Structures are given as structure tokens and as C-alpha cells.
Amino acid sequence: TGNGSSLTGITQSQVTGLTTSSRPQFANVQITHSVLTYAVTTNIDMDTDGFQTVSLTGDVTFTTSNRAAGRSRTVRILCDATPRTFTFPAGWTFMGAAAPASIAASKDAVLTITAFGTADSDVVAAYSVEP
């Protein structure tokens, strides 16, 4: 960065020629945002944008596809003026609390899922909703 910072374990040959426009790319890290289309069964594709927003207009069952170790997705959930119920894959492990059963009317929430393998049982999830 030009301010005297250093990285431990990185060799000069690994950084020679890098510029701000030639930063390393990592296949499992995506920082783009897209809209996730709501459906009664809404699929979170682990091979698409890392940040997604879904606007609920009904109850929802979440599914995933293209799971692979190291892939993570964050979904902003926007609820309309009606409380909505959730269904999640049985194999997911929720951290900090049990899987939420519903979201209150007109609330926003964030669901983050991380895959540690290719099965639903390899997915760890965290959920937080505004008060």
C-alpha cells in the first residue's frame, strides 16, 4: 500500500506486477449483488452473486444448489405487509439460535449461509432480523 505495511509469508514474486486493477481473483468470493426472484420455493444458487435480495410476497421454502466448500451467500430478506413463514433444508446448522420459523410483517432480515461441502448437511447458516 506504500505506507510501510507488510504481509507475512508472501514472496516478492507473488506480488510483483500487481496493480489495483489486477488484484487476485478468488473463485469462491463474489461481491456483486443481484435480486433473487421470489417463489414459493426459492433457490439460493451458490454459484451466483455473493449478495442477493429477495422480496417476500408469500411463505417461502429455501433450497440451495451448486454447494461447494468455501462458498458463502448473504441474502437480504424483505418482508411485505404480511407475516411470512420459512422452511429451510433439514440439514442446515443454524448458529446462535434455532432456524427461524417466520418473519414479522414489514421487517428486513439477513440470512448468511456458508457451505463446507456439497450437501445441505454441510451448510452453516446465521440469521438476524431487525427489531
Does residue 75 contact residue 110 with C-beta atoms inside 8 Å? Answer: yes
N-to-C CA span, the chain: 40
- Please say whether the beta carbons of 86 and 58 come within 8 A: no
What's the mean pLDDT in 100-127? 98
Model confidence over 26-69: pLDDT tens digits? 666 546 788 999 999 999 999 988 899 999 999 999 999 999 99
What per-residue confidence (pLDDT) applies to 87?
98
**Count of alpha carbons within 13 angstroms of residue 125, beta-carbon side:** 24
What percent of the chain lies above the pLDDT cut of 70? 76
pLDDT at 119 over 80: yes
Q: What is the pLDDT of residue 49?
A: 86
What SS3 string covers 66-82?
CCCCCCEEEEEEEECCC
Residue 99: what pLDDT? 97
CB of 113 closer than 8 Å to CB of 66: no
Residue 77 has pLDDT above 80, yes or no: yes
Asked whether the whole model's pTM tops 0.95, one would answer no
- Percent of the chain residues past pLDDT 90, beyond the cut: 72
CA distances from 87 to 31, 67, 76 (A): 26, 18, 16
pLDDT at 124: 98
Question: How many Cα atoms within 13 Å fall on the side-chain side of residue 41?
Answer: 4
